[in-house]
Structure 1
Amino acid sequence: MEPPRKGFDASTSVEPHDLLDASTDAAAVISADGVVVGWTRGAEALLGRPAPGVVGQPAARLLAVPEDPARAAGIAERCRAGMGWNGLVPVRHRDGRRIEIDLRVSAAFRMGGQECFLLSAREQRPQWTVGQSVLDGFLTRAPVGMAVMDLELRYIWLNDTLERFGGVPREQRLGHRLSELLPGLQAETLEGLMRKVLATGEPVTDYEYSGWSWADPHRQHAYSTSFFPLVDAEGTTTAVCYMVLDVTERWTARRILSLVNEAGTRIGTTLDVLETAQELADFAVPRFADFVAVDLLEPVLSTEGHGAWLTDAGPAPARPSMRRAGLQSVREGVPEAVVRIGEEVYFLPPPSDVNLLISGEPVLIPVLDPSDALWATEQPERAARIREFGVHSLISVPMRARNTALGLTTFARSLNTVPFGPDDVLLAQELVARAAVCVDNARRYTREHTAAVTLQRSLLPHALTGGTAVEVASSYLPADPTGGVGGDWFDVIPLSGARVGLVVGDVVGHGIGAAASMGRLRTAVQTLADMEMPPDELLAHLDDLVLRLSDEETERAPADRSTSTFTGATCLYAVYDPVSRRCSMARAGHPPPVIVTPDGHAYYPEIPAGPPLGLGGMAFEAAEIELAENSLLGLFTDGLIEGSDGDVESGMARLCEALARTEADLGTLCTSAVQQLMSEPQPDDIALLLARSHTLAADQVASWDVPADPAAVGHVRAAATRQVMDWGFPEQAITTELIVSELVTNAIRYADSPIRLRLLRDARLTCEVADASSTAPRLRHARSTDEGGRGLFLVAQLALRWGARYTAEGKIIWAEQEIP
């Protein structure tokens, strides 16, 4: 053990300021003869000496001073008396360092018949003491504002930092209350918090508020304040202290983030360029500015092109043409504006040029001087408005998105006396950047939607005519722009024999792809209808076409991800014959037509549903019904009957009610029916095709049975000529005679009986020869040495159109002539 130091009395107890803890401090057990018999890990950590190198060795080797046997004996006697000892002892660390330890020796005890002493120690580190001058300097010059208020909430002390925050000298504050000095700094609220602290004794921490100060009256600051009571030795509250920290930067960053987040929910709610621009102006006033104008470049507002100079790589005109798209002000009627919404504008803040829009940085004019020469020269009318309404600060931010220049947004302040600063420029950039992406999205969508609508309308029939067979009217409404253009289509196809084909279809999907697919299907239906196919066969061929298109687009999809796969369509095809008043129809997954009888009874005929086009492997069935004259046939797409509730059966019932009304004008009935069923925009296209059936009168049809005898050709030829003359068409008599002669002769020579000739007087003069053979006629070009083979060639030259169609009994060869 360390010997007693000079001047130390071993008989005097020294009480430690902090009790040692043998469970956590360094500890050792030493025998009465000074040998270490126990060494803890704490002792090993304190001196860096492991137990094997210490146990069994004299403890005096650990001391950093010479051994003092007399002092050690005195300590031992004191501990044997049960009193213990503690004091500071210098020891040597394993690395040679000298360290001071606070050592405590316990009362003597016996262990294994041997007298021992328990020692516990910890390193003694120097304590730092604060002088009064240091403490005064700390309180006075701390970067946190501090003040002490008496029980009447009057200033009795404050430091230099708080004096700078408020801009009020210390002499004017002492003895006065906060509400008397800074009434605009939420003084009453702050004093209320101080009264609460005095009443409860509980501190209030981190209360944030914003306001202005005399030190910086043109900028709003934010402060974080904490209050706590000051108590004396008896525990009596004598004053309240408050500490103030300027958190303007943190508050500004949080405000910017909050406004930008809110702008994300308020700007870009629609895919409309003008509405998005107006949403930006509405959001910024009065949150950020007193006046906002959003000006967009002409190509951005155009739906016909991208604009030749919208990217950085393109050349820009010296004077870009823009139009005002958004405008808002704190003053009613926006009197500050020189240009109104929709009008052309060429504004760029002086001295900026067109490069500001393409690659320039935001323009900040903290203090706007309308008398400046540039404003007076370049913007004289705006300079006058600036003076009139006291506009004193301005920020102009170019609107760009995806390397595309879109326009310019200008923010101005007039009633708000605080000028714009660098932080405001950051906020303006964030707001404009968020709006720019929405404007660009709306621009792209509008252009694509317009292209899809234009494509679809160009593919739909521009004028419908049903000849004398039917009176037709149609109504088409594109889908709500948010849903995209669909693939609905309808058509009226004139057929031979005064017949007419009625078709309505719906392609799955939306957009340009659906519109293009619709055009392909409509063309295919027209081609197949011209081949005189019955409805069920036409749908079968159309189904094969859709399957082939789907396979082609599926193979192309990996290479061209922009191509949407053709997934299918529905279709209804009907053929009406005004002579027999029979209507044959078939459908492929499409709703059945609605039929309204002349007496106003509306119903849906039983027609086999058939699978949608594109499934393949399933047959289509046709149904035939007889229509009374002036019956109404309505073909429609599912968008008309689905409605907002999605109840198809209810929609079909409403359609029956809408069409059952007595309405002389078919177009008016069609329009009113769509308006009655569609009270709000729908996510799908709507198509309605109405056809009112008519019948050919008996005097418009003439027919003869033809015997299978070549001599009969002359008789029917003469009869047909007389009939054409009786109808008042002498110019067509000779042509009709030749056509009848050739067609009847071919039927007698090459076809089977029965043979029948029929003349129809409709919009055109039609000659039909029916036989029982299914052999297809073939147009030949006979050589000069051939004696025959020119019959059909002659018919093709004389007739406006000719062709053949097949029936259950055989075929019909027909030829049409134009009637003057």
Structure 2
Amino acid sequence: MTPASPGSRPADGPASGAVAPSGLMDLLNVAAVLLEADGRIDMWSPQAEQLFGYARSEAVGQYAAPLLVHPEHQDAVIELFAEVMATGRDWAGAFPVRHKDGSTRMVEFRNMRLTDNLGDHYALGLAADRATVRHVERKVALSNRLVTQAPIGLAVLDPDMRYLAINPALAAMHGVPESDHVGRRFREILPGAPFLGAETVMRHVLATGAPVVDQQVVGRTAADPETDHAWAVSTYRLEDHHGDVLGLAYVVVDVTDRYRAAKKADEAQHRLRLLANASGRIGTTLEVERTARELADVLVPDLADMVAVDLLDSVLQTGRADLDEGPALFRAVAVKTAYPTDADRAIVPPGSLVTYHADHPASHCVRTRRPLMITHVSGDDLSRIAAGPEAARLLARAGVHTDMAVPLIAREQIIGVMGLARARNPLPFDEDDLTLACEMASSAALSIDNAVLHQHIRGAAETLQRSLLPQLPPGRPGLEVAARYRPAQAFSEVGGDWYDVIALDGDRTALAVGDVMGSGVTAATTMGRLRTATSTLADLDLDPARILTHLDKITADLDYLATCLYAVYDPHRARLHVASAGHLPPVLVRDGRQPELLRLPTGTPLGVRGVPFEVTTLALEPGDRLVLYTDGLVETRHDPIDERLDDLMRLLTPPDRSTEETCDRLLRELRHPAGHDDVALLIACVQPLAPA
């Protein structure tokens, strides 16, 4: 059998049955010396050569004491040697040794007596440099103190991810005794889903040797199973001095306070972003339903999984809350859910009227003017927050587990209630959520109330304006007439557009369209005055230019400006007399020809004073159509007016079968649903004059 060379290691594996050395002996570099009974050196290890400086050939056969010990210590050493050989008791200690180079070194010794099969005694001396031994002892002491007393968690695992050692701090974090860790796998101690990622990182470190520092892990352990904690985990691979993998060590620092502080800061930033988002997205129009939908859109899914906005019906009808008689009557105006859910059918759909039972959160908000939050919804709570038993069943099936109701209060008057709930989001509502919801409800309530107020003012103005517009006569000699009026939409108020059809003597008919500059009730009132004046002046049988001159004076006295087109058609002569005061030109449509804009002397708007108006006379034939309109039909904020007028004439080619169809088509194709200006449209079609 060939002896192993110095420093070689047994091969690993089942064939040899050997395992890799720990490396501690190599670290200490322990020297072995075998002495005969008389003190002569019989065997000398390579480590002894390194420690004492003498080669084997120089040491074997020599007496150990004279070779290694200073003269002043030789007697004491010989006496100790004799005692070991006589009694068989081991001796250990340290004393100075003379090195071959003449220096003196402190060496740690352990001497023991050996007996061979013949009964002869030998002495085995194990020696190591005392400085090296002390260095290792200090490291071991430091490691023990660090492991047992450090406030941070420390653990050592073998390559199979089984615990070999763990300190008390980490055992306390896990909520599992130290003794129950040893021999068990990492995932047996920490089975929760958040620790799966930590195990993946550990295996990566074990495979690559690349350490991972400050990996954040958030989860729950047996020490506190109801609360999330956060840890910073640093993982390192352990290797011996030969590079063989022993396992891995990981260090755990509890950073829960830092994690919670950062989480609160993130939540605060999120709330600020949500409030900023709400300020830009809520109240973009003065439409009640749209404003309520904007509120719901902002809240879902950032704050809640589902939101419902209900307004008091009395506020919508009259502008004020009427809570004196019976339960509050709500009208659902907006519903929003983050995803398809059974809860959709449990929430009252928009447009519906509903009266909630006395214990419902909405009823509570109306009575107390205070919000109501149910952090953890139970079975009884579901019956309370639902509109009925079937709705409660649907909410339970949807998984609703937390709920809150917030009153909508504007100008010290409650106008409705906002309901919020979570199902898929596992976190219950907390006080910060309630504060945020109340802030957003307060801001949105003012926008909704403004929309309600605008709706009532707008309704009054529209009613006034429509009352000032004429009722078209059933028919005029030689004319088929159709007219339309459309008020402004979106956030604009009603304007001052009007049309009129006035019967004159001799079967003649006066046609007028006009537009008072400005909007609101005052513009509508001014329009009514001008229309009344136009009707009065028409009875005086004045030509169109004289009519506009008088209207110019009246408009100037009212401190307003207006455009107007006034025309008189005589069916017996088939003549049209027309004059314009700054108004858009009418369109003449004739069979077999392209529609054309009438090139009239435009004149100045009414109210400028002192500028004369001119009359233009046209000959008309049966089938000819005259299209009069206000600028709301063709003007937009982004399109050139020439292009829009071209669109108007294109839509008049070919003409529809009736003037009514033409009116509807023009409004449908040219006017945007949210047009910012009102529109007056008047179409007259020349008909053959019936015999007297």
**TM-score bracket for this pair, using the shorter chain length:** 0.5 to 0.7
CA RMSD of aligned residues (A): 4.4
Pairing of 1:391-540 with structure 2 (within 5 A):
391-414=400-423, 418-464=427-473, 467-540=476-549
Give the Å deviation of 1:645: 5.1
Question: Aligned-pair distance for 1:504?
Answer: 0.8
- The answer for the alignment partner of 1:341 in structure 2 is 350
Distance 2:167 2:324 in 1: 61
The residue that corresponds to 2:319 in the other structure is 306
Report the CA distance between 1:608 and its aligned residue.
0.8
Query: Cα deviations across residues 308-331 of structure 1 (Å, max 9, x unaligned)?
Result: 44xxxxx64441111222334555
* Partner residue in 2 for 1:321: 329
Structure 1 distance, partners of 2:523, 2:614, is 27
| d(CA) in 2 for partners of 1:643, 1:318 | 49
1:598-637 Cα shifts (integer Å, max 9, x gaps) = 5444322321111223333433222222223442111111
Supply the distance in 1 between the matched residues of 2:271 and 2:556 (Cα, whole angstroms).
55
Residue aligning to 1:613: 606
Structure 2 counterparts to residues 658-697 of structure 1, below 5 A: 658-678=651-671, 681-694=674-687
The one-letter code matched in structure 1 to 2:456 is R
Counterparts of residues 792-807 of structure 1 (less than 5 Å):
none
Residues in 2 aligned to 1:335 and 1:538: alpha-carbon distance in whole angstroms: 62
TM-superposed deviation, 1:199: 6.2
Distance between the aligned counterparts of 2:216 and 2:278, measured in 1? 24
User: Is the partner of 2:506 in helix, strand or coil?
Assistant: coil
Shift of 1:570: 1.4
Counterpart of 2:287 in structure 1 is: 272
1:298 shift after superposition? 0.5
> d(CA) in 1 for partners of 2:271 and 2:223?
24
1:357 to 356, 361, 366: 366
| Contact 1:465–1:471 (8 Å) recurs in 2 | no
Q: What amino acid sits opposite 1:297 in the alignment?
A: L
Q: How many residues align?
A: 535
Q: Distance in 2 between matches of 1:388 and 1:318?
A: 33
Residue identity opposite 1:323 in structure 2? R
Hey, what does 2:556 align to over in structure 1? 547
AA aligned opposite 1:446: Q
Instruction: Percent identity, please.
Output: 33
One-letter amino acid of the structure 2 residue matched with residue 656 of structure 1 = M
User: Is residue 588 of structure 1 aligned with residue 581 of structure 2?
Assistant: yes
Change (3 A) 1:250 1:212: farther
CA distance in 2, matches of 1:307, 1:283: 26
State the TM-score, normalizing by the size of structure 1: 0.56
In 2: Cα distance, 1:295 partner to 1:218 partner: 36
Q: Is the 8 A contact 1:579 1:695 kept in 2?
A: no
Which residue pairs with 2:272 in the alignment?
A: 257
Aligned counterparts of 1:188 and 1:331: Cα–Cα separation in 2: 31
Cα separation, partners in 2 of 1:528 and 1:372, compared to 1, 3 Å: closer
Structure 1: state its 5+ residue gaps.
Answer: 1-130, 141-145, 310-314, 551-565, 701-820
Give yes or no for contact 2:360–2:386 (8 Å, CA) kept in 1.
no
2:308 to 252, 275, 293: 293
SS at match of 1:445: helix
Give distance in 2, aligned partners of 1:216 and 1:286: 30
Paired residue type of 1:320 = A
For 1:570, the equivalent position in structure 2 comes to 563
Deviation at 1:276, TM superposition (A): 3.7
Q: Following the alignment from structure 1 to structure 2, what is the Cα–Cα distance between the partners of residues 601 and 681?
A: 31
Q: Residue 468 of structure 1: CA displacement?
A: 0.8
SS of residue in 1 equivalent to 2:458: helix
Question: Which AA in structure 2 matches 1:570?
Answer: T
**Whole-Å Cα distance in 1 between the matches of residues 362 and 513 of structure 2?**
56
Go from structure 1 to structure 2 and tell me whether the alpha carbon gap of 1:133 and 1:227 turns closer, same or farther (over 3 Å shift): closer
Q: Deviations over 1:736-790 (max 9, x none)?
A: xxxxxxxxxxxxxxxxxxxxxxxxxxxxxxxxxxxxxxxxxxxxxxxxxxxxxxx
How far off its partner does 1:363 sit? 1.4
Distance 1:182 1:194 in 2: 16
Partner of 1:770: none
Residues 1:374 and 1:502: Cα distance change in structure 2 (over 3 Å): closer
Query: Does the 8 A contact of 1:350 with 1:378 survive in 2?
Result: no
* Alignment map for 1:68-467 (pairs within 5 Å): 140=151, 146-148=152-154, 150=156, 163=172, 177=186, 181=190, 183-185=192-194, 187-188=196-197, 192=201, 221=228, 223=230, 225=232, 241-243=251-253, 244-245=255-256, 246-247=259-260, 248-264=263-279, 267-268=282-283, 270-281=285-296, 284-302=299-317, 305-309=318-322, 316-329=324-337, 330-332=339-341, 334=343, 337=346, 339-347=348-356, 350=359, 354=363, 356-357=365-366, 359-371=368-380, 375=384, 391-414=400-423, 418-464=427-473, 467=476
SS at structure 2 position matched to 1:543 = helix
CA 1:542–1:333 in structure 2 vs 1: closer, same or farther (change >3 Å)?
Answer: farther
Structure number having the greater helix percentage: 2
Which amino acid letter does the alignment assign opposite residue 467 of structure 2?
S
Q: What secondary structure, in the 3-state scheme, does the structure 2 residue paired with 1:319 have?
A: coil
> Structure 1's 240 and 513: CA in aligned 2 closer, same or farther, altered over 3 A?
farther
- Taking the aligned partners of 2:639 and 2:383, their CA distance within structure 1 comes to 63
SS in 2 for 1:458: helix
Any conservation in 2 of the 1:336–1:385 contact (CA below 8 Å)?
Answer: yes
Provide the rounded CA distance (Å) in 1 between the counterparts of 2:405 and 2:586.
60
Q: CA separation in 2, counterparts of 1:500 and 1:338?
A: 58
Specify the alignment match of 1:649 in structure 2: 642
C-alpha spacing 1:689/1:200, structure 2 compared with 1 (3 Å): same
- 1:747-762 superposed matches below 5 A: none
Shift of 1:662: 4.5
**In structure 1, how many angstroms separate the alpha carbons of the residues matched to 2:297 and 2:389?**
27
Relative to the length of structure 2, the TM-score reads 0.65
Shift of 1:690: 0.8
Q: Distance in 2 between matches of 1:585 and 1:201?
A: 93
| Residues 365/585 of structure 1: CA separation in 2 closer, same or farther (3 Å cut) | same
The separation in 2 between residues aligned to 1:209 and 1:627, in whole angstroms, is: 88
| Aligned 8 A contact 1:488 1:637 in 2 | yes
Residue 290 of structure 1: how far off its partner (Å)? 4.6
> Counterpart in 2 of 1:123?
none
Report if aligned partners of 2:328, 2:355 keep a CA contact under 8 Å in 1: yes
Structure 1 residues 358 and 437: alpha-carbon distance in aligned structure 2, compared to 1, 3 A threshold: farther
In the alignment, the residues of structure 1 paired with residue 283 and residue 216 of structure 2 have an alpha-carbon distance, to the nearest angstrom, of: 33
What amino acid maps onto 2:271 in structure 1?
I
Q: What's the offset of the Cα at 1:589? A: 1.4
Counterpart secondary structure, 2:472? coil
Gaps of 5+ in 2: 1-141
Cα gap change, 1:213/1:251 in structure 2, threshold over 3 Å: closer, same or farther?
A: farther
SS in 1 for 2:609: coil
Q: What SS does structure 1 have at the residue aligned with 2:585?
A: coil
User: Is the alpha carbon distance of 1:308 and 1:395 closer, same or farther for their aligned partners in structure 2, counting shifts above 3 Å?
Assistant: closer
Tell me the SS of whatever aligns to 1:334.
helix
1:638 corresponds to 2:631: yes
Residues 519-575 of structure 1, C-alpha deviations (whole Å, 9 max, x = no match): 23222322332333322222223223333222xxxxxxxxxxxxxxx4x22111112
User: Residues 614 and 189 of structure 1: is their aligned pair in 2 closer, same or farther, counting only changes over 3 Å?
Assistant: farther
CA contact (8 A) 2:373 2:403 kept: yes
The 2-side partners of 1:170 and 1:272 are apart by 67
